[in-house]
Amino acid sequence: MLNKQNRRSFLGKLSLAGAASLLGAPGLATAGHGLVGAKERTSQASAPADLKITDVTCGYIKNGHDLIVKISTNQGIVGWGQAVDAVTGTYFMVKQMGNRLKGQNPLNPNRLQEELRKGAFFGGAQSGVYVAVMTAIESALWDVTGKALGLPVYQLLGGKFRDKIRVYCDTALYTARNPTPDDYAKSASGAVKKGYNAVKFDIDEGNDPNKYDRYNWTASPAELDRMYNAIAAVRKAVGPKVDICVDMHGRYDATTGHRVAKLMEPLNLMWLEEPVPADNIDVYKRITAETSTPICTGENIYLAYGFTRLLEEGGADIIMPDLQKAGGLGEAQRIANLANLYYVPFSPHMVASFLGAMASAHVCASVPNFQIMEWQTYMDTEEIYKDVVVYDKPFVEKSFITVSDKPGIGVDINEEGMKKYHPKDIPFFV
């Protein structure tokens, strides 16, 4: 067995280029100071080269819509990763991917992600459920790697451009039935009083009595009136210096999407999100080209490949991949860097726990074109979000998340706390 001193010797002999090769992480050559500190912070009993994955297990919260993956190793280091939305019924998929990883060294997250992806070309590895599960596993691999080397994930990704990650407050007014413009104004003012400097509202109202019918995607004149009046009330309430994002959830046709974008121009939005479904780039190109309202999309687009044509053809002004289902943290950085080539801001969608939020924050810190990240207002108050994680500081302060300097992601899962929310018919971390 190698002792701590032998491990230090091992790390001391690594060149920065060699470390980058070991991790498969671009830009690690800039992380010299971090590696020096890593030698003092790590205390495992054997060299990183001897680290092996012994098990990959999982649990779920939010009725199975949020997946938490746990990677265990022969040195007692545990890594955590999260995926959302496209994960229902995926327990056996996690086990299948985990069996492919057992016995491998986890310090190669990019390579292992590529093996999982390329090994399933006929198993759904282009998008959806497969990629979402792979995302949680890949994130956990980065967590293990950071903990093994004593480095935060942002350092493994090449360092950071910023210490704090700006977030907007999704006010969750969508939980109210047919809210009035006054409700919108009060909700916005409340978020600003809490310290947020950007807010988001949904304007797709499935139960709007003015809809033609539930299947018709064309908004009636009365619906358009409602949308404009609601956001105009928000702008009046918060003034000109608070950013406003508006989400349509892809629930309208091209005509309505175009009309809403034009209607919103006087309100100086940060963006109009998904006025139409994200699967028709040609429609996005037309809407984006014909309005001064910035158009944003991407939460249901998977992998960097999914963003290539959208960016090449100017289909959106801002992209918002969901980093808990788009392919992993390394893939998220590739998506951001691709967008940066087109001078397009990177503003991730985020509806995970604080584990997912901090994982996303590491990526946001590591790229130059980060703009803002999502934060749901109920995460400030609902007990589940505090119960399921181990973190000793406030989540958000004055519209910012401070990026953790702890090894790995910097947030762990409280398994006992998570048990309270785990679906009873799914195995729990076995």
Where residue 6 falls among pLDDT bands split at 50, 70, 90?
very low
Quote the pLDDT of residue 28.
39
Quote the pLDDT of residue 46.
59
pLDDT averaged over every residue in the chain: 91
Query: Is it the case that residue 175 has pLDDT exceeding 60?
Result: yes
How far is it, in rounded angstroms, from Cα 239 to Cα 247? 20
Tell me the per-residue pLDDT of 112-152, one tens digit each, with 9 for 90 and over. 999 999 999 898 999 999 999 999 999 999 999 999 999 99
How far is it, in rounded angstroms, from Cα 167 to Cα 197? 8
Query: Is it the case that residue 223 has pLDDT exceeding 80?
Result: yes
Global confidence as pTM: 0.89
Query: Is it the case that residue 318 has pLDDT exceeding 80?
Result: yes
Tell me the per-residue pLDDT of 8-42, one tens digit each, with 9 for 90 and over. 443 443 333 333 433 444 443 343 344 444 444 44
Tell me the per-residue pLDDT of 238-269, one tens digit each, with 9 for 90 and over. 999 999 999 999 999 999 999 999 999 999 99
Kindly state the average pLDDT of the residues 346-356: 98
Q: What are the chain's domains?
A: 4-151 (3.30.390.10), 164-406 (3.20.20.120)
Kindly state the average pLDDT of the residues 383-392: 97
Query: Is it the case that residue 427 has pLDDT exceeding 60?
Result: yes
Kindly state the average pLDDT of the residues 410-415: 98
Assign 3-class secondary structure to the chain. CCCHHHHHHHHHHCCHHHHHHHHCCCCHHHCHHHHHHHHHHCCCCCCHHHCCEEEEEEEEECCCCEEEEEEEECCCCEEEEEEECCCCCCHHHHHHHHHHHCCCCCCCHHHHHHHHHHCCCCCCCCCHHHHHHHHHHHHHHHHHHHHHHCCEHHHHCCCCCCCEEEEEEECCHHHCCCCCHHHHHHHHHHHHHCCCCEEEEECCCCCCCCCCCCCCCCCCHHHHHHHHHHHHHHHHHHCCCCEEEEECCCCCCHHHHHHHHHHCHHHCCCEEECCCCCCCHHHHHHHHHCCCCCEEECCCCCCCHHHHHHHHCCCCCEECCECCCCCCHHHHHHHHHHHHHCCCCECCECCCCHHHHHHHHHHHHHCCCECCEEEEHHHHCCHHHHHCEECCCCCCECCEEECCCCCECCCEECHHHHHCCCCCCCCCCC
Kindly state the average pLDDT of the residues 319-330: 98
Kindly state the average pLDDT of the residues 282-296: 98
Query: Is it the case that residue 309 has pLDDT exceeding 70?
Result: yes
